Structure 1
Amino acid sequence: MSMARSLPETRHIYALQGRDVPVWLERSARRSVGLQIRQEGLRVILPQRFPLQELDAILRQKAGWILGKLDALAERPAATPLQAGSPLEWLGEPRSLSLGHKRAAVTADALQLVAETTADIPLALQKLMRREARVFLAERLDSWAARLGLRYGEFKLSSAGTRWGSCTSQGTIRLNWRLMQAPLPVIDYVVIHELCHLVELNHSHRFWALVATACPDWKHKRDWLKREGARYFAW
């Protein structure tokens, strides 16, 4: 098998702080270990030649974070069945779902979807949100990068189940397309947060001080997302 291709996942059980956690391991061409929280447990993506025995130390070090994310995911509201007329937020403003359109669009009071039945709604809604996010979030990223005097490498959309954004050491910034439901000031906080990781790839005092230069009330927006953001995943 080519080393550039991923190998199939294998399921394991790891004991983290006295709890048994299902862990799916996958080998890929990436250079660092990746951790992804899923409803059914933890997904770990390992470089092809990464020694498996070194994973224990990483999981023990990250145990608090892993368990906290798994608990938060478990507490998330059950998925809400969507139908024509269902309310949904768009940039923090109320909209309703409208079906049967030939082209998806956002109007002053509705999200018009290329969907005929309720079963078609989730995918149609995701397509609309991703399409709009690809342009809108890139514009916010460029705007704030210019204001902060920073340059990022690449922008990608994220479908992460528990993270709003991420920034790699190579300067790639990912933003969750579900942010299109959030108010603009909250979106900007996430954008600023990830841009500041270009300077400080951590959450040190220096990092938060940098965030505060562009977003003085970042604590309020961070807490708002923790308190209110779960509903944006409830479909």
Structure 2
Amino acid sequence: MKGRRPPVSPAAAGSAQLELPLLAPPADPVAATSPTDADAPNPTAPLGPDQRRLTLGERTLVYHLKRSSRRTIGFVVDDRGLSITAPRWVTLAEIEHAIVEKQKWIFAKLAEWRTQAARRVLPPMRWQDGADLPFLGKPVTLRLESPIGALMFDADTRRLHLGLPPSATEQQIKDRVQGWLQTQARRLFGERLDLYAERLGVRHSAYALSSAATRWGSCTADGKIRLNWRLVHFPLSLIDYVVAHELAHLREMNHSPRFWDTVESIFPEFREARDQLQSHPPEYLPVF
């Protein structure tokens, strides 16, 4: 059976807060499982409450099953693995029959996601002198010493001088770097919000940084905007896209064609930036 995305209900379209998820909404509703383990799990590993296991020849497929009021069986493969959403009246035997019919596509998509993840994943971050981390899309090198004896960033050499002693611990280095990044994010995001708000002719009532694990930004009906500080790792174009996205919600509290027209009116390159952002899930950022 071929899954189709169900229409958005009026209640969802008029919600009090809209969020920009860390990963783009897939074509069908999603539940979670790991793509690296999805087609070759430990046969004795316990399953989660919504997980099921199906043997297909020499392969064992683990997936999450969600029941809903939709009229078709939907398949989604993303960085979290395989998820299936099925009507409440469809039997498990019918679901498994649909899996068998679609298994070639499923395994191909799982392999594709693993390949993409391997290309994007960063090596483990080592919090030490000489380490690099991304800032505005380019690497910045950490240096413990500082020519002024305090925290400073040299834009010409792209070195962040921390002003810490050689004996500094990883936690001290991490805390100093995170504080600097959040300070830069707060300043830069505020400037971009002011710039694009003026272009659109809107005003937000409040703005704050967030450390949300599931979204890059959010906007409430009363004009409060929150932006994930981890965006500061990305090029300015991606930050501008999220800023334009959230400000557009002050005009259109939905994701209708009119909403996307509003985004495009102040940020014409939004499609390219949106695609790039969708390929940057949080697990590929330095771990703080």
Relative to the length of structure 2, the TM-score reads 0.54
1:200 pairs with 2:247: no
> 3-state DSSP class of the match of 2:181?
helix
In our comparison, the structure showing a higher alpha carbon Rg is 2
Distance 1:69 1:161 in 2: 15
Match of 2:152 in 1: 105
Equivalent of 2:229, from 170, 177, 200? Answer: 177
CA-CA distance at 1:231 after TM superposition: 6.4
Distance 1:234 1:161 in 2: 14
1:202 alignment partner AA: N
Distance 1:172 1:127 in 2: 23
1:83 pairs with 2:128: yes
Query: Structure 2 vs 1, CA of residues 192 and 69 (structure 1 numbering), >3 Å: closer, same or farther?
Result: farther
Query: Structure 2 vs 1, CA of residues 111 and 60 (structure 1 numbering), >3 Å: closer, same or farther?
Result: farther
Match of 2:208 in 1: 156
Distance 2:176 2:193 in 1: 25
Match of 1:226 in 2: 278
1:162 alignment partner AA: T
CA-CA distance at 1:110 after TM superposition: 0.9
CA contact (8 A) 2:133 2:286 kept: no
Match of 2:184 in 1: 132
Match of 1:119 in 2: 171
CA contact (8 A) 2:135 2:233 kept: yes
CA-CA distance at 1:60 after TM superposition: 6.0
Distance 2:284 2:161 in 1: 18
Distance 1:89 1:164 in 2: 17
Distance 1:181 1:188 in 2: 13
Distance 2:200 2:262 in 1: 10
Distance 2:219 2:81 in 1: 24
CA contact (8 A) 1:152 1:172 kept: yes
Distance 1:21 1:212 in 2: 42
Q: How does 1:30-69 map to 2 (within 5 A)?
A: none
Distance 2:140 2:151 in 1: 14
Decide which structure has greater helix share: 1
Query: Structure 2 vs 1, CA of residues 110 and 162 (structure 1 numbering), >3 Å: closer, same or farther?
Result: farther
1:124 alignment partner AA: R
Structure 2, unmatched stretches of 5+, are: 1-30, 34-46, 51-66, 83-113
Structure 1, unmatched stretches of 5+, are: 1-15, 23-58
Distance 2:231 2:222 in 1: 23
Match of 2:5 in 1: none
Higher relative CO (Cα under 8 Å, sequence separation at least 6) belongs to: 2
Match of 2:94 in 1: none
Query: Structure 2 vs 1, CA of residues 167 and 70 (structure 1 numbering), >3 Å: closer, same or farther?
Result: farther
Distance 2:32 2:144 in 1: 48
Deviation track 1:167-225 (CA, whole Å, cap 9, x = no partner) reads 11121111111112211111111110110111122222111111111222212111111
Match of 1:49 in 2: none
CA contact (8 A) 1:166 1:194 kept: yes
